[in-house]
Amino acid sequence: MDEFEASHLLPRLYERDIDVLLQEELIFNDGVRRLFSTALKLHETFHVLACRLSVVDASGETDVLATISLGSRKGVLLIENKIDASFQSRQPERYRERTANLVASGESCEIAFCALVAPKNYIREEHADFARFDAIVSYEDLAAAIAAQEEPRSRHRATLLRRAVDQARHSYVLVEAPAVTSLWQRIYQIASSEYAMPPQATAVRTTSSRCGHDQRRRCRSSDMA
């Protein structure tokens, strides 16, 4: 499947979809584990012993939680996955606190890391929030690591990630909403027949109302003021 076909055939991907893909790649793809190990500046590639999704504790939710081994040590890798949503309140700080608490608990956790996975155009490495993560891995680099296996299935999964990047760049698609346009035009006609309208209100007669659809299902009308 080439990029043109993917843009027409692949569905819109949500963060949860990427979480599942990432979980499988961490478990089965040594190239992806090397990518994260390099980003974490480790001297060897960690092994994944178990991997869970949407792990919630008192401090919040971890999107992907991998139990890892690094040489003779065991620990965890906490991953926050972002397509385009903003950080929640103190979210990066809470990831740091979570890793510290896991090591301090002494529950078979000698090492703990937190990483952010996001499209390149989302990442702002100079910002303090991003600096709180031990590593940042871009969707683009993750897709390249997956595609490096050079198998049809791997190429397809890499295309899924690249599709998610493209969708993040075009979160809103404005489409005509004739019913809303007609409503505003009718309101204008009634109001203008009864009252003297200010000049800017005449824009209502020619401005179309549109609905912006994205993964958060937001809707707005254009230029109604």
Residue 90, token pair as written in the block: 């103190």
Report if residue 39 sits inside a domain. yes
Report if residue 129 sits inside a domain. yes
Q: Which residues of the chain have pLDDT under 50?
A: 1-4, 172-174, 200, 202-225
Same domain, 71 and 31: yes
The 10s digit of each residue's pLDDT in 69-105 is 999 999 999 999 999 889 999 999 999 999 999 999 8
pLDDT in the model for residue 191: 81
Q: Smallest Cα–Cα separation from 141: which of 51, 25, 44?
A: 25
Report if residue 221 sits inside a domain. no
Residue 61, token pair as written in the block: 């939710």
Report if residue 222 sits inside a domain. no
pLDDT in the model for residue 175: 52
Same domain, 78 and 106: yes
Residue 51, token pair as written in the block: 């991997």
pLDDT above 90 as % of the chain: 56
Report if residue 153 sits inside a domain. yes
Same domain, 185 and 162: no
Same domain, 195 and 85: no
Q: Which amino acid is at 83?
A: I
Find the CATH number of the domain harbouring 101.
3.40.1350
For residue 145, the 8-state DSSP code is: H
Same domain, 187 and 105: no
pTM above 0.75, yes or no: no
Residue with tokens 């606190």: 97
- Tell me how crowded residue 74 is: count the other CB atoms within 10 A of its CB: 16
Total domain count, the chain: 2
Residue 21, token pair as written in the block: 């893909």
Q: What is the residue range of 84's domain?
A: 3-169
Q: Rounded to a whole number, what is the distance in angstroms from the first to the last CA of the chain?
A: 45
